[in-house]
Chains A and B, each alone.
Chain A
Amino acid sequence: MNRSAIMLGGMLIWFLAGCIISYFAKKRTGPGISEYFIANRTIGGFVSALTYSATTYSSFMMVGLVGMTYATGISAMGFELSYLMGTILLLVLFAPYFWTIAKKYECISPMELLSRVYNSHLIGGIATIFSLIMLIPYMSVQFTGIGYLMETLTGIPYRVSVFITLIIILVFTLWAGMRSVAWTDCLQSIIMFVSSILLLYYVINNFLGGFGQFFQVIQTEHTDLLDANKMSYQRFLGLTVPWLFFALTNPQVNQRMFIPRDQKSLKTMITGFAIFGLIYTIIVVHLGLAARHILLGVTNTDLITPLLLAKIPVILALIVFLGIVAASVSTLNSIILTLSSMCTIDIYSQLLETDEKKQLLFGKIMVPVIAVLAFFFSLGKFGIIVELSVMSSAGLLALAPSYFGIFWPKRDLIAALSSIIVGGLTTIIMYFTGYYPLGIWPGVWCIILSTIIFIVISIIRSSSSHSYKRN
């Protein structure tokens, strides 16, 4: 049996396993919109932890971060671990509040929470459109990643590979909504975790003579990789700052704060994610360091992982390949489900007065609509897509002040809308013009600008409303 056939066979088994999980999720899924989009807040701690991890960590880890470490050494680890610390902060300190507020107001989508707090559906609608603009290109990059990897490893043409990915995602998502996504995410996260451990173990033992030797080789022959300054500090900050707020500003992970069944499950989710994140990041970074010794002179760092896969036994390559596909699929289906819940709750049900049954139908229609939109974007292979996806995490930062404003009595709707629109547009303009004032990356400008706008307008409007009341 040749390499391509083994890859395809393995993928088929993985897909069937996912279908079986999805089928049982469907059997457990009750009626109603809350059940479909957030599993009626009944997900246990362990499953919540795994779906949170699988949603957060996309194929960027095994492809992008391995390549980034290969090129810039441990500064890539610093960026990813700083992000992890930021996420732990947000989850430990704010997730219990978000969970409580969302439950109290029966919020299903993250933007619905904003609408409730700011007493206006306008903010939910604008934030939804903004998230769609930012996340569809990001999703298409996930499609593109799987398409190229599948084409390289199985020989299936790119367009067919991307289409197969679309079908897999629709099966895992459409059938039973959040419960199916959460349960299949468990499978994906286990594959991601196990495959990365196996790959690291094999690579270190077979190419570097064991872990003791590995540290010695990197220390003596590739000292530059251990220099935190190998990546420019401005780039480091430009990458890290947007990611510090990822747990809050990216709706697909934000919505996961709503799904645990109780506070105890929420705590288990946070603990599980923190441990998963630390171990997974360290494994991936060490793969990048090891790759530097194994593969010399590779300029396109996105090729590091595929080149490593070509050097390892086919069964291991299959497991790692499935790990990467699983990472992309779990991120994609979560984004699609969350965006469809936002379109349903924050736009459709605000424009038309319909019953829950029609809302659910609309939500189920939006799942393939959003998935197909991202699919067509990925077929286009527009150069603009990459820039848009890089921009997405920075642009979504404009939502951060509005979320933090939930805890500030002086928060104001106009301030929130202004900060989202001005912060978001500034990021888009900076990315497209390439003009970074003072050399500071757009994400950093976005959070500075949107925070100042939010605070200043809120204070002005709060004091003017007080003086109006006094008069």
Chain B
Amino acid sequence: MNGIDLKPIKRPLIIFLILILLSLTVPFLLPPTFLGAYLCWIILSLIAIIYGLIVLGGSK
């Protein structure tokens, strides 16, 4: 069980954590319009999903 190699997930883990951190902070600084926090949360979610699919596609 100790032999699990987590190196392959290090980079995606950092990218995902950045995306989540952005989701927990940036929208609160944006103006109350559809082009503000609303769009920011949707775009961040889309990026997370698309990036997730890329990571999944690349994993064996």
Known contacts A84-B45, A407-B4: does B52 contact A226 (CB below 8 Å)? Answer: no
In the bound complex, residues from chain A placing their C-beta under 8 Å from that of B23 are: 78, 81-82, 85
Which of B6, B27, B56 is within 8 Å of A92, CB to CB?
A: B56
Residues 85-105 of chain A, each 1 if its beta carbon lies under 8 Å from chain B, else 0: 110110111101100010000
Shortest C-beta distance, B48 to chain A (Å), equals 4
Is A78 a contact of B41 with CB atoms below 8 Å? yes
Given contacts A117-B1, A274-B49, contact A224 B37 (CB under 8 A): no
B50 to chain A, nearest CB (A): 9
Closest to A240 in B: B24
How far is A330 from B37 in the complex, measured between Cα atoms in Å? 32
- Determine if A74 is an interface residue (Cβ-Cβ < 8 Å): yes
B37 close to A226 (CB less than 8 A)? yes
Please indicate which of the listed interface residues B13, B37, B45 has the most CB atoms of chain A within 10 Å of its own CB.
B45
**A77 and B52 contact, CB distance less than 8 A:** no
User: How many residues from A make CB contacts under 8 Å with B?
Assistant: 43
Q: Mark A385-427, 1 if CB is under 8 A from B, else 0.
A: 0000000000000000000001101000000000000000000
Q: Are B1 and A101 in contact (CB under 8 A)?
A: yes
Measured CB to CB, the nearest residue on chain A to B26 is: A228
Q: Is A448 an interface residue (CB 8 A)?
A: no
Q: Residues of A contacting B32 with CB < 8 Å?
A: 223-224, 226-228
B10 vs chain A, min Cβ distance (A): 10
Do A228 and B9 form a contact, CB below 8 Å, given A274-B52, A278-B46?
A: no
- Contact, CB under 8 Å: A270 / B52: yes
Report chain B residues within 8 Å CB of A92: 12, 16, 52, 55-56
Query: How far apart are A53's CB and chain B's nearest CB, in angstroms?
Result: 14
Cα distance A211–B60 in the bound complex, in angstroms: 42
B 27-60 binary contact with A (CB < 8 Å = 1; else 0): 1101011101110011011101100110110010
A215 at the interface (CB under 8 A from B): yes
Q: Give chain A interface residues in 195-251, CB to chain B under 8 Å.
A: 215, 218-219, 223-224, 226-229, 233, 236-237, 240, 244
Which A residues are CB-close (under 8 A) to B49? 88, 274-275, 278
Contact A81 B1 (CB under 8 A): no
Check if A237 sits within 8 Å of B24, measured CB to CB: yes
**Chain B residues near A236 (CB-CB < 8 A):** 24
Q: Tell me if A270 and B37 are in contact (CB < 8 A).
A: no
A residues within 8 Å of B by Cβ? 74-75, 77-78, 81-82, 84-86, 88-89, 91-94, 96-97, 101, 117, 215, 218-219, 223-224, 226-229, 233, 236-237, 240, 244, 267, 270-271, 274-275, 278, 282, 406-407, 409
Query: Sorted from nearest, which 4 A-B pairs have the closest CB atoms?
Result: A228-B37, A227-B32, A89-B16, A226-B32
